[in-house]
Amino acid sequence: MSTNPHLSGQDETLTGQAHRRLEEMIVTVELEPGSVVSEAMLSSRLGIGTTPVREALQRLAREYLVQIFPRRGVVVTAIDVRQQLQVLEVRRELERLIVRAATKRAGAAERAAIADLADRMEASAGQQDPRAFLRLDAELKALVSRAAANEVAADAILPLHAVSRRFWFYHHADSPAGAITNTLHVGLARAIVSGDDVAAAAACDRLIDDLTRFAKATLPTELSRSGG
C-alpha cells in the first residue's frame, strides 16, 4: 500500500522506492513514533542500498516524519496533536485552492476517474479496514492534485497529508470522531465531479472541520499516553 498521494508509477528510482516504503512504515506506525533507526538497519530491512535510504530519509525529514541527528541516528517524530491542528489550519487553505482548481480544470477522463473512486470509497464504508481507507484517500488526493494542475500547491501540501494520515491512523481506533470521514471524502469527490467549485470548497471545509474535531477528540488520549 502506498500512502503517498503524489506518488506516480514513474517514481520507481531506488530513492523513490525507499521513500515510498519508509513513509508507509511510518504512517502505519510499523516504525513507531520516537523509535531510533539507522540507515544501515533500514537498508537491510528494505533490501535497498544505504545511499537511496539516506536520500529518502532526508526527504522524510523535510516532511516532518523523521529527525536526523548527525552521528546519533534518525528518530521517528512524535505524534503531536498541536502539530496536527497547525497542519489542518494550513491544509484548509491549500486544499480549498487545490479543490477549486480541480473542479474547474479537470478533464472528462479525470472526472470519470474521481467519480469511480468516489464509488469505491462509498462501497468500502463499513469494512473497518484503515489501511484500505488510507490507500483510497491517497489515490483521491493524487487524482485531485493532478486535475488541479498546480505543482506548487501540490508540492506544498504533500508533507501535510503524510502527517495527517499518520495522525489519523494512530488514533482512529480511539475516537468515534473519525466515523464519518469516509462519507465526507465521497461528498468532496462528487462535488469536484459536479463542476461546482463553490460546493467543492464547502465540502472541503466540512472535511477539514471533521478532521479538526477528530484531532481535538484525541487530546485526553494523548495526555493519558504521556502520563499526563
Looking at domain 81-224, its CATH architecture is Up-down Bundle (1.20)
- 14-76 is a CATH 1.20.120.80 domain: no
The partner residues of 74 in beta bridges, in order of sequence, read 37, 68
Range 132-161 average pLDDT: 92
Question: Which residues make beta-bridge pairs with 66?
Answer: 76
Distant-in-sequence, close-in-space partners of 102: CB < 8 Å, separation ≥ 6: 110, 144, 145, 147, 148, 192, 200
DSSP 177: G
Higher-pLDDT residue of 70 and 203 is 203
Q: For position 141, what pLDDT does the model report?
A: 93
Q: Residue 132 has what pLDDT?
A: 86
Residues 15, 194: Cα–Cα separation, whole Å: 38
List pLDDT tens digits, range 55-100: 999 999 999 999 999 888 899 999 999 999 999 999 999 999 999 9
Residues of the chain with CATH 1.10.10.10: 14-76
Per-residue confidence at 220, pLDDT binned at 50, 70, 90? low
pLDDT of residue 177: 56
Tell me where in the chain the CATH 1.20.120.530 domain(s) lie: 81-224
- The residue type found at 63 is E
Task: Give start and end residues of each alpha helix (H) in 13-107.
Answer: 14-27, 39-46, 50-62, 81-105
Amino acid letter, 96: R
68 forms beta bridges with 74
pLDDT of 112 over the 60 cut: yes
Q: Say whether pLDDT at 223 is over 90.
A: no
Question: Would you place residue 175 in the very low, low, confident or very high pLDDT band (cuts 50, 70, 90)?
Answer: low
Average pLDDT taken over every residue of the chain = 88
